[in-house]
Amino acid sequence: MAERRVYIRIIPTGNEEFDIKLAGGIPFPSLIFIEGPHGTGKTALSQLFIRGGLYLGMKAVALVSEATIEGYLDKSKTAGLDLTDYFIRGLLDVYSLQTSGSSWSKERLRKLLPITESFILGSADKYDIFLVDSLSHLAVNSSASMILAFFSTLRRVTDMGKLVIVTMHEGVLPEDLVTRARAICDGYMKLGTAVLAGRSVNVLRIVKLKGAPTTFESTISFNIDPAFGIKLVPIALASV
């Protein structure tokens, strides 16, 4: 499996408001790391990013650790993104790390990261887009060397001309280890919340995004509405 460098292009997400803020969309290929607390929109945001490639006919795989396959697709509907049709057409494969009747033992968790790493590397010729949502359960009982090796493998796959997205809960790993992992990535995005008229909104801070136009906005606030999908909210009106 030969590594190759490819020209970076911009893939629209399909959400016009988001694409305007991003000055067109997401750089492809790239390795993007999304971190944030529970409930800040990591899954919805990563689904938004992969949907653009799916719309263009790319093939993607989502490796999910916090939902069943059905639950993951239901989440996409809740975010107004509905990836079910891509799943049915075979453009999107979803594999859940949850299995019926099994528990998250430390021994099992330690095995999941190298298994996931091996799968991604072995499937590099099959998919254009890889998503790990989320890395939290895989990383919490893994050593620092295993986690850095995992990100190095993702870097290698990205350099083959792929879009790779990893989400993780904030605070799962020591900050120095997260800093080293971020350095391997092309993009690092941090999610949080703010308050608008007494209601919580999600806030995306783009710390870095190599390959993107220099005119993209580094702070984007949004709500997730099942009826309208991901809708932007003026951050100037929010209290962070």
- Amino acid at the residue 35: E
What pLDDT sits at residue 235? 64
Q: Which residues pair with residue 202 across a beta bridge? A: 193, 222
Q: What is the pLDDT of residue 102?
A: 56
Range of the domain at 79: 27-99+107-237
Q: How confident is the model at residue 168 (pLDDT cuts 50, 70, 90)?
A: very high
pLDDT tens per residue, range 92-135: 999 998 755 556 666 676 788 999 999 999 999 999 999 999 99
14 occurs within a structural domain? no
Tell me whether residue 70 is in a domain.
Answer: yes
pLDDT at 186: 97
Pairing label, strands 199-209, 187-196: antiparallel
Q: How many domains does the chain have?
A: 1
Give the single-character DSSP code of 206: E
Q: What is the pLDDT of residue 120?
A: 98
Confidence (pLDDT) at 103: 61
Q: Which of 49, 46, 48 is nearest to 65 (CA)?
A: 46
64 assigned to some structural domain: yes
11 is a domain residue: no
Q: Is the pLDDT of residue 178 over 50?
A: yes
158 domain residue, yes or no = yes
For residue 176, what is the domain's CATH number?
3.40.50.300
Condensed to tens digits (0 to 9), the pLDDT of residues 33-87 reads: 999 999 999 999 999 999 999 999 999 999 999 899 999 999 999 999 999 999 9
The answer to whether residue 3 sits within a structural domain is: no
12 occurs within a structural domain: no
Which DSSP state fits 53? H
33 domain-assigned: yes
**172: three-class secondary structure by DSSP:** coil
CA proximity to 46, closest of 127, 135, 123, 121: 135
Q: Check whether the bond before 136 is cis (ω within 30° of 0).
A: no
